[in-house]
Every structure is written in C-alpha cells, then in structure tokens.
Chains A and B, each alone.
Chain A
Amino acid sequence: MLTVLVADDTSTDRMILESLVRQLGYITVPASNGLEAIAFYQQYQPDIVLMDVLMPEMDGLEAARSIKKLAGENFVPILFLTSLSDTESLVACLDAGGDDFIPKPYNKPILQAKINAFGRMRELQTTLLQQRDQIRLNNNTLLQEQAVAKKVFDNVAGKGCLDDPNIRFHLSSQAIFNGDVLVAAHRPNGNLMLLLGDFTGHGLPAAIGSMPLATAFYGMVSKGFSLQDILREINHKLKTLLPPGIFCCASLLEVDYQVQQVKVWNGGLPSGVLYRGVSGEVELLSSQSLPLGIMGNDRLNSQCRYFDISATDRIYLWTDGIHEARSFDGEMFGEARLLEVFRHGSDVKANQIFDRILEAVHEHVGSDVFDDDLSLVEISLASPPEPTDDQDVGARGDQGLIEWSMSFEIKPPTFLHFDPLPLLMTVISDVPGLRGKSAQVYTVLAELYSNALEHGLLQLDSSLKNDAEGFAEYYRLRKRRLEQLTEGFIRFTLAHSVNGDEGVLRLTLEDSGEGFDHHNKLRETGEKDFSGRGIALVTTLCASLTYEGNGNIVKAVFTWKD
C-alpha cells in the first residue's frame, strides 16, 4: 500500500486532503511545515509527497529540493498543492523538483487519477532500478568469471614460449572471449611450433574451445609429437567436445631452425604471409583445409606446405578481425590494404612491418577509441632460440623418478603407425633435472631409433641419400620396406641413476637386424661419415657411445650435473 506524505500548514486543507487520500486506500502522514515534511520523509519513507507551496518555517520549494536530494536515484514524486496560477510560480515549483500540481480546491477524481498515475510510475521506477541493480550484479559476476576463466587459460598457456624474442604478437585483452587463441612451444628437438586460432562467435561459447586446444597443444608439443598428430588430436577433441556450428579456424606451423624449413597448415584462417627479407617478396600461406572441429579426422586434410627459409625471413599470421576492422563509414580494412604494407619494400624495414600493420589498421579505423578485435603474430626466422635450460630441479631433486630402469619393445606392424619417442619423452620429462635436457635426450633417442629402424631392420643404405634423386629413392624404399615388414623388433632399455651430483641415463637400443662390422667401420671411416651426420651429433651429446654384438646393439651414456 502506498504511503502519502501530506504537507500543508493550513489544517482544514490538510484534513480534507488526508481524508480524500485515505478514502483512496492509502496511508497518510501529515506535516504542517517544510521542516516537518523533511523529517517525516526520512522517518516514514513515503511513496508520494503532496506539498503546499507557502508554509512557515520552511516553504514547500525548499523542502522539495531537500527531499529530492535525499531520495537520490529513487523516484519520489512530489505533487505541489496550489491555487497559484501564474506561470512564474508554477515554474518555480518545477524547478524545485516538483513533478506535477494538484489544484485547489481539491477535486476527488483528479486527485485520485494523479496519485494513482504517480504510484504506478514509482513502482515502474523501482522495478527498473531493481532490474538495473540485478543486471549490474550479473555483469560483475560475469566479468569476475571471465577473469577466472582467463586466469585458468593463462595458466595453461603460460607454459608456452610466446615471450621468445623471435615472436611478436598483438592480441586483444579480451582475446579469448573474442575466440582468438595463440599458443607456441618448442618441441624437444628445438623446433618452434605455433598455432593461431579463431573460434566461431564471441563470449563464452567462443572461449570454451580454447582450453582443450591449449592443453592438447602444450601436452603434445613438449613430448615431441608431430604437427600432424597434434592437428588430428585437436581436431578430434574439438569435434567431440563442441556442438555443431562452433569450430576453430586455425593455422599451425613448425619452424625447423636446423634444416631451415617451415611447415605450415592452414584451415580457414585468412592467408598468412611469408615475407622474404632479402627480396621483399611475399608468399601467401593460404587455407587448404576445413577449419578444426567440423569433420572427423578422416575428412581432415592434414597436408602441409613446406617452405625453405633464411634468417631474414619472417612469417605473419592474423585472424579475420584485421580484415574486418571497419572505418567510420563502415568500409573494411581488407586483404588488399594489408598486403600493401608489405609492398613498400625498401621504404619499410623488415622489423617495422609488424608496427606498420597495426598503424595502418588504426589509421583506417580512425578512432582514438580503437575497438580492438584483432590478432596479429610475427615470427622472425632469424635466430634459433637458446635451448631452454631453466628447469629448477637438479639431478638430486627429491621428487619424481630417480632410480629406475625400463624396457620397451616394438614389433611390426607397430612401426608403421606408431612413433615411440613421445611415449619415452613422457617418462624422461618426469625425471627431475632431465626435463631441462629433454632436447638433447630427444636428439639422441631419435637418431639411434632411426638408425636401428632404417639400417638395422630395413637394411637401407644411407649413401643413397647423397644426392637429391637418391634421397627420394631412400624414402620410397623406406616406406615400401616398412609396409612389407612382418617380423623383427627394436628394444629400448633406459636406466637412470644418480651418483652424487651427477645424473646418469643409460640408453640401449637393440634391433633384430644383421648389424654391421662396427670394429672395422669405426676405424676405417672415422666418426664423421659413419652412418651419416646423426651419429657425429650423438657422440658430442653423450659421455660415451659404443656398439656391441654384431653391431645391432648400441649403448649411449648420457650424463649431466646440477
């Protein structure tokens, strides 16, 4: 029920008005001057105030101002009771915050209509304020939840190497809620792997796929899985987890600094750019596959493009936010303007392209308040990153695997589809102290495994690889013999121990092949040509490398200190 404050110094007026208001079914609070009106307003919090203009102590105008001030954002209608009719006085009432007038002498139907109307307005206003507060509360909760979600994502993504000096990127602060995701990490062999993705839509639905994507990416890259394996795993995960209609346009690339080659896959992202530093030429890294998470792996085109690179080359990837940045009159930035930045050739130094792209987009959009919805990443192909040796636990670390050994055997047809190295690296990376050496261990394992497989089991002759034609022939033969292989094995034995502050990992690989005359071969040819470049590298990484049996057993001892 509404409470109505009736402020009038003339008792007959007040009595008549109170009586009328009560007959309408409302509760009345009488006040006989302005000061009383303010005091009773505070005490009774009435819904509507009926106020005489001329009153002793404090007049109605001043009392109205005070009450409006006290009410703040709450709507308390003040209706002035007046027989005044000159415009000036009426204007003064409105200026003081009055919402309407009730003319004297009182007329019951008019009084009723006005009080009812303002009662409804007040109710509406109260509901609006409640809803606004609810929305504000919801929004705060949402922002808080987003902050938590972003923190979780950052924890997942924090494992990466996005702070490498050869990577520059620009992401909106709200990137994951725009659906953009950028992850990068080194494989155990030192190759850089980077994925830029753009999920459909905005908000939580767009952010939700980023988590499984990032977890799969970081988990697999550090264990040495191949680009194709990672692609298929992410595609499978997203296809399984996300509803139809939500998917991820992405580009995934791997930079091999040693052989100076980059491998690129693009499914649904706008063409990226491989910028040739010497010539200033541009090669487009265009999309050749469906985006991730739409079809099963059987329909995923995981074929990549390979580019030879030199130290002055750079790669640029972006999401469609950059193409779709709109100018004041709605025109999109578009691909043509983007590629124009690269055409300035000698005018723009290679290390300025990144900034020039952002500047060009800003200029196009032309607003100080830049509605930032774009993601841009630059990978400079110049310097191979220093191997990260920053793991904190030494050989004597008191957690994880310390004294152990394991044996692991593979037989056909497993060789054809299964790469044992990621599995072994999972174990290696659980050894305190060895984690930081995983790049070296990976290299040793990879070389010894490919020798055991290709020369031991498949009896391939590495001298074939001396010319380009032979190189192709070598891999053709490798594939055929692998498919035909029906028996044989390769056995890994890994033993780990700690001796004082020194850690020792003994790797033994035995294959069922015929072996070779290791005594003579080692003496005759020296290490350099022996079994190709790989073994030379392995011997530099290991404390010792010895062949046993008829050359089908190789033992490598890898040691390290804190």
Chain B
Amino acid sequence: MTQFTSLDESVIDTLREIMGQEFNDLIQAYRIDCQTRISALKQELSEDNCDGVRRAAHSLKGSSGNVGASHMQELCLALETSAKNEDLSSAPEMIANIESEYQNIESDLNVITRN
C-alpha cells in the first residue's frame, strides 16, 4: 500500500468504485482542472480581479474536495475567503502554496495511474 502525501486514500478508493472504467479519465480531468484553475488564478491576480480569483478558487476547492485533496481544499477556501473580502494582499503567497501543493498531488496522481 502506497502512502499518499496529499490525497485521501479512502476517497480515491470510493471514486475508483464509483467511476469504474472512467476512473483514469476522472484523474486526467482533475489534472487539467488543477492546471486550468491555477493559471486562471495567476491571470486574475495579475488583473487584480477579486471576483475572478474567488471563482477559480471556489472551483478548485470543489474538485479537490471530490478527490480527497483536503489540504488543497483548505488552501483554496482561504484564498476564496480573502477574495470574497476583496483582500488580495496575501494572494500571491497563497497561490504559490497552491501551486506547490499541486506538485505533491501530481506525484500522488502518478502513483495512482501507474498502478
């Protein structure tokens, strides 16, 4: 049994059960989701668009919850809350944390799809 750093193994097992043959597609979709949202976050931040940041963080929070990426979920929630309060002062740091957490997730995902 592999020990995941960022994903909840029991959630992954449940998803495997739910999705069946489409499990790998889901993992791939999550990867794309993360990459799309992270670049969106950066883009919106550069434009100083609070609402854009909030939406992207909200989406990433949702899909991360689905795959049991609970730390990523927490990071996104914090960013979403700040953006909602129109405070982007610590956003660059938060997005950097999100990006590095995605690296951890990515290595977990590689383990999962290799099996």
Direct contact between A and B judged by beta carbons closer than 8 A: yes
Chain A interface (Cβ < 8 Å from any Cβ of B): 9-13, 15-16, 19-20, 23, 54, 56, 83, 104-106, 108
A-B contact number at CB 8 A? 49
The answer to whether B19 and A9 have CB atoms under 8 Å apart is no
The answer to whether B63 and A12 have CB atoms under 8 Å apart is yes
Q: Which residues of A are found within 8 Å of B20, using beta-carbon distances?
A: 19
Least CB distance from A48 to B in Å reads 19
The answer to whether B18 and A12 have CB atoms under 8 Å apart is no
A11 to B22, alpha carbons, bound, how many Å? 13
Q: Which residues of B are found within 8 Å of A10, using beta-carbon distances?
A: 33, 59, 62-63
With A54-B55, A54-B58 known to touch, is A13 a contact of B63 (CB < 8 Å)? Answer: yes
The answer to whether A13 and B66 have CB atoms under 8 Å apart is yes
A19 to B25, alpha carbons, bound, how many Å? 12
With A10-B59, A12-B33, A54-B55 known to touch, is A83 a contact of B22 (CB < 8 Å)? Answer: no
A190 to B63, alpha carbons, bound, how many Å? 98
The answer to whether B62 and A13 have CB atoms under 8 Å apart is yes
Q: Which residues of B are found within 8 Å of A83, using beta-carbon distances?
A: 61-62, 65
Q: Which of B19, B30, B66 has the most CB of A within 10 A?
A: B66
Q: Which residues of A are found within 8 Å of B62, using beta-carbon distances?
A: 10, 13, 83, 104
A108 to B66, alpha carbons, bound, how many Å? 13
Q: Which residues of A are found within 8 Å of B66, using beta-carbon distances?
A: 12-13, 16, 104-106
Chain B residue with minimal CB distance to A12? Answer: B63
Chain B residue with minimal CB distance to A16? Answer: B66
Q: Which residues of B are found within 8 Å of A12, using beta-carbon distances?
A: 26, 29-30, 33, 63, 66-67
A37 to B55, alpha carbons, bound, how many Å? 19
Least CB distance from B84 to A in Å reads 10
What are 27 inter-chain pairs, A to B, with CB distance below 8 A? Answer: A9-B59, A10-B33, A10-B59, A10-B62, A10-B63, A11-B32, A12-B30, A12-B63, A12-B66, A13-B62, A13-B63, A13-B66, A15-B19, A15-B22, A15-B29, A16-B15, A16-B26, A20-B18, A23-B18, A54-B55, A54-B58, A54-B59, A56-B55, A83-B62, A104-B66, A105-B65, A106-B66
Q: Which residues of B are found within 8 Å of A13, using beta-carbon distances?
A: 62-63, 66
Q: Which residues of A are found within 8 Å of B15, using beta-carbon distances?
A: 16
Interface string of B56-77 (1 = CB under 8 A from A): 0011011101110000000000
A19 to B26, alpha carbons, bound, how many Å? 10
The answer to whether A16 and B59 have CB atoms under 8 Å apart is no
What bracket does the count of chain B residues touching chain A fall in?
20 to 34
Q: Which residues of B are found within 8 Å of A11, using beta-carbon distances?
A: 29, 32-33, 63
The answer to whether A15 and B26 have CB atoms under 8 Å apart is yes
Chain A residue with minimal CB distance to B30? Answer: A12
Least CB distance from B23 to A in Å reads 9
Given contacts A19-B18, A83-B61, 10 further A-B pairs with CB under 8 A are A10-B33, A11-B29, A12-B29, A12-B30, A12-B67, A13-B66, A16-B15, A16-B18, A19-B22, A104-B66
Q: Which of A12, A16, A23, A83 has the most CB of B within 10 A?
A: A12
Residues of B8-50 contacting chain A, CB below 8 A = 15, 18-20, 22, 25-26, 29-30, 32-33
A15 to B21, alpha carbons, bound, how many Å? 12
Least CB distance from A241 to B in Å reads 73
A-B CB proximity, top 5 nearest: A12-B63, A11-B29, A12-B30, A105-B65, A10-B63
Least CB distance from A88 to B in Å reads 12
The answer to whether A104 and B65 have CB atoms under 8 Å apart is yes
Q: Which residues of B are found within 8 Å of A104, using beta-carbon distances?
A: 62, 65-66
